[in-house]
Amino acid sequence: MAAALGVSSVELSLIEEFLHRSAAEATADFIRIYSPFIPKLSEKLGSHGSDTNYDHEPSDLFAAVHSLQECKRGSLGWSLCEFYRRNQMSPLGKATPEPSYCLYHDMNHVISGYEPTGPGAIALGAFKLAMDDSESNWLASLGNF
pLDDT in tens, 72-98: 999 999 999 999 999 999 888 777 777
b/e for 49-81, b at 16 or more Cβ within 10 A?
Answer: eeeeebeeebbebbebbeebeeeeeeeebbbbb
Residue 92 lies in a domain: no
Residue 131 lies in a domain: yes
Residue 126 lies in a domain: yes
Structural domain range at position 25: 1-41+114-145
Residue 68 lies in a domain: no
Number of independent structural domains in the chain: 1
**29 pLDDT exceeds 70?**
yes
| 129-143: pLDDT as tens digits | 898 888 888 888 877
In this prediction, residue 2 carries a pLDDT of 65
Residue 76 lies in a domain: no
| 35-76: pLDDT as tens digits | 888 777 665 544 444 444 444 434 678 888 889 999 999 999
**14 pLDDT exceeds 50?**
yes
In this prediction, residue 74 carries a pLDDT of 95
Residue 133 lies in a domain: yes
Residue 120 lies in a domain: yes
In this prediction, residue 110 carries a pLDDT of 96
Residue 2 lies in a domain: yes
- Confirm whether pTM is higher than 0.75: no
Closest to 96 in 3D by CA, of 43, 132, 46, 144: 43
In this prediction, residue 47 carries a pLDDT of 44
